[in-house]
Amino acid sequence: MKTYKIHLIRHALTAENTEGKYIGQTDVDASEEGLEQIRNLMNEAEGYPRADVVISSPLKRCLQTAKVIYPDKEPVIMEDLREYDFGDFEGCTAEELKDLDTFKQWIAGTDPDTPVPFGESQKEFNKRICECFVKIINGIIMSGVNDTVVITHGGIIMSLMAEFALPEAQQHEWLTPNGCGYTLRVDPTVWRMGQKLEAFAECPPIPQQIDAERDMWDTFDYDPDKDDFDISEYVNDYTNYEEQ
C-alpha cells in the first residue's frame, strides 16, 4: 500500500525565544537571526524536504518561516496549529514567575485539567492540536498527497510526537531546535488501526545533526537504518484495548 510523508518543522527563532520568554499565542515576528539560520540550513547538504502542500500556524513567525523555505507555496492556514495559550504567563520568563503558586502548580504538570490563569489547560491544548492533526493525516490519505510540510510551534511538535509517533518517547525527548523538526511516514493501514506514524528522520538532514540524530535514536533503542520494529505487536495491543 502507498505510504506518505509528513514533515513537522518548528518556526524560526524569535527574539523572545532567546530571552527565554513564554510566547504562545502572542503574534511576534521571527527574528532576522532566526530567518538567517533558516537560510543557512537551506544551503547545507540536502536542505529542507520537498513539499506538495505546506500547512502553517496562522502566527507570523510560522508564516515568515514558510515564506523563506517554500516561497512558491501558499500555506494552508489552520487556526488550531497555534501554540499553547499561556494566558497570564505570556511574555514572562520562568525566573519572573517562579514565586507564583499558580505557576508552580502549572509547571508541576500534576493536573492537566487546570488551565493557566486566563489561558489553556494541557488537556484543552492536547485536544485541540490532536484533533487538528488527525484531520491533516486523514486529508493526506484521502487526497494522496506525497509530501506535506507542517510549520508550527515547538510545544505542538513535542506533543504531537509524544501522542502519535513510533518509536514512543516522552514529550520532552522530542524537543527540536528552531527551524528543525521530524519526518514521519504515514501508512494508511497502521493509521486506521492504531493512529500511529513512524518517525524515521530529523529534518532538515544536515551533516551537523548526524551525531546528535544517532544519539537520539539510541535513546529509544531504535535505529532508523535497521528498522526491525514489529508494528503488529502495537496493533494487536491497540485492538485488544479497544475491545475492553
Q: Per residue in 31-44, pLDDT tens? A: 999 999 999 999 87
Confidence (pLDDT) at 239: 35
Rounded to 5°, the CA angle 104-106-112 comes to 150
Q: What DSSP state is assigned to residue 76?
A: E
141, 191 contact by CB (below 8 A):
yes
**Residue 45 binned pLDDT confidence (cut-offs 50, 70, 90):** low
Report which of residues 187 and 225 the model is more confident about. Answer: 187
Average per-residue pLDDT for the chain: 86
Cα(22)–Cα(48) distance, integer angstroms: 27
Question: Is the backbone of residue 180 left (phi > 0), alpha (psi -120 to 50) or beta?
Answer: beta
Q: Which residues make beta-bridge pairs with 165?
A: 197
Q: Residue 23 pLDDT > 80, yes or no?
A: yes
pLDDT at position 207 is: 53
Taking Cα atoms as reference points, which of 145, 157, 158, 179 lies closest to residue 62?
A: 179
For residue 79, what is its C-alpha cell? 487556526
**Total of domains in the chain:** 1
Task: Provide the pLDDT for residue 17.
Answer: 93
At residue 132, the pLDDT reads: 97
Would you state the pLDDT for residue 220?
A: 36
Q: How far from chain centre, in Å, is Cα 122?
A: 16
Range 18-35 average pLDDT: 95
CB 150 within 8 A of CB 55: yes
| C-beta of residue 68 within 8 angstroms of C-beta of residue 77 | no
Closest CA to 12 of 160, 148, 180: 180
pLDDT, one tens digit per residue, over 70-107 is 999 999 999 999 999 999 999 999 999 999 999 998 88
Alpha-carbon distance of 207 to 125, in angstroms, equals 34
CATH code of the domain in which 203 resides: 3.40.50.1240
Once rounded to an integer, what is the mean pLDDT over residues 123-136? 96
Answer for the pair 156, 126: CB distance below 8 angstroms, yes or no.
no
pLDDT band at 233 (very low <50, low <70, confident <90, very high): very low
Contact predicate 12/178, CB 8 Å: yes
Q: Cell digits for 34?
A: 532566526
Owning domain of residue 27: 4-243
Q: Tell me which range, 41-50, 64-73, 226-235, is most confidently predicted by mean pLDDT.
A: 64-73
